[in-house]
Amino acid sequence: MAKKYVIALDAGTTSSRAIAFDKSGNVCGISQRPIPQIYPQPGWVEHNPQDTLATQLGALTELLVSCDIAPSDIDSIGITNQRETVFVWDRNTGAPVYNGIVWQCRRTADMIAEICKDKQVAQTITDKTGLIPDAYFSASKIKWILDNVKGARERAEAGDLVFGTVDTWIIWALTYGAVHATDVTSASRTMLYNIHEGCWDQWLLDLFNIPSSMLPQVYPSSSLFGATANPGIAQGISICGVAGDQQSALFGQCCFEAGQAKNTYGTGCFLLMNTGDKACKSTSNLVTTIAASAPGTKGFEYALEGSVFIAGALVQWLRDELRIISKASDSEKLARSVKDSGGVYIVPAFTGLGAPYWKADARGAIYGITRGTTPAHLCRAALEAIAFEVYDLFRAMEADAYCPISMLNVDGGASSNNFLMQFQSDILESEIRRPKNVETTALGAAYLAGLYSGFWKDKQEIASLRANDDVFEPHMEDFVRKEHLAGWKRAIESTIRY
């Protein structure tokens, strides 16, 4: 009997999801469970590893039961994950030694600043990894756990502790401890992996004092990572695709050729451009990273990436802290209720500024408030801020790649906001294309798994499945656009100076 589905496990920052895709790339079922967020101190963000596991396995089980999917219906599993988040656990018992330190966490910013006092060391890190040294990436998080959890360093040096990003933790659990592995895209985000030589780098391991015995084995994104063996779930299903969420979305958007780009509007905002087999060196504070590729690809494919830390999380702030909307989708209607932001600009540097500024100690600010400022103005300014952040990344990426981006593929939760997408098109002066299926992060993981298993024949078949939902064309008057951008520039410069 022909297999019916590929299952994607999407281990995000705020939720764990399981999605079933059929051979046409359609979503046939979805289950989602929230991940509790832990904030021990200002700027610190953690996840309980058991919460991550319980929500992910729970979402998978719920999906299979609610959609009446039998194990025999499943071709394979693909996993996509939030990348730089760090888990450390006991190799023998599987027990975590500490909460997971989430990619957003800034606790190691001073550590990175101290390391980077030596400019040559900082440049060597970038040369080897393609990354700008920052607390965002995994290396300093691992070091923090080893240095601050009682007995952790001794146990690690004895070979008893292992490290993994979220995908590694889930693979370990799915295979019941049989497989300790990650893929090249997640490895390339640890700041420990040499993206040119394709291996863990001993110089980097020595710099951060991390034992090599802790590290997972690295596989191509589309390959066999093992099979499910956990007693609590269906057995014997092959895990054939793994990719970090942004590289997975790039693949899910069918950006297979150099020069094609996508932007994901998730908790953060991530703009990636496929650069083919060339690792473009950024002069605009972007990072170079490894892209996911189809099975049989020779060598690596690379991407330029710009990341901002707060995007959809800004809308969550409007909902949860300011309470000016009851659900995220209300932001569009509220923003449209006023003709403009009333001169208000929000710089959402809640956990520092990412690309292209990389100012770790920056904090959020609101400019231009008057007695007439209303919740609607704040809401509109928040959505506009997301678009302005993307504008900065967009122009930096064009400069690094030496080519204009004539069209931008979009996905992620906030891409469903029509006001934001139109404003984004206006500010960029570029066409925005939103696919019918905005679940491209999960879809990319499914494609990677299904290509390896043979569920899909090749990239051409996958590309033929894509159907566009909406196209947004710019129509803002030039002087209005320039006024918007001038105000944003003043707000950013003021925030950086402060």
DSSP 84-105: S-BEEEETTT--BSSPEEPTT-
Strands 365-367 and 345-347: antiparallel
Distance CA 139, CA 235 (A): 34
- Give the tokens for residue 40: 């021990």
Under a CB-based contact definition with an 8 Å cutoff, are residues 66 and 192 in contact? no
The tokens for 187 are 């490895």
On whether the CB atoms of residues 168 and 216 are closer than 8 A, the answer is yes
Domain boundaries, the chain: 1-498
| DSSP designation for 352 | B
Please tell me the distance from the alpha carbon of residue 257 to that of residue 460, in angstroms, as a whole number.
12
The DSSP annotation for 131-169 comes to S---TTSHHHHHHHHHHHSTTHHHHHHTT-EEEE-HHHH
* DSSP 8-class letter at 77: E
With tokens 């691992």, the residue in question is 142
Q: What is the pLDDT of residue 1?
A: 58
* Pairing state between β 431-435 and 74-81: unpaired
Cβ neighbours for 298, distance < 8 A, ≥ 6 positions apart: none
Residue range 1-498, CATH number:
3.30.420.40
Query: Angle CA(127)–CA(132)–CA(136) in degrees, nearest 5?
Result: 135
Q: Which residues of the chain have pLDDT under 50?
A: none
- Residue located via tokens 């066999």: 224
Q: Which residues contact 300 (CB under 8 A, 6 or more apart)?
A: 184, 195, 198, 277, 279, 290, 291, 293
Distance CA 269, CA 273 (A): 14
Neighbour count for residue 458 (Cβ, 10 Å)? 11
Residue 490 Cα distances to 90, 253, 307, 348, 365, angstroms: 49, 34, 21, 14, 12
Question: pTM higher than 0.75 for the full model?
Answer: yes
Contact at 8 Å (CB) between 428 and 219? no
* CA nearest neighbour of 129 among 162, 172, 84, 179: 84
Separation between Cα atoms, residue 69 and residue 103, nearest integer Å: 34
Q: Which residue has the tokens 């998730």?
A: 266
Q: What is the pLDDT of residue 498?
A: 76
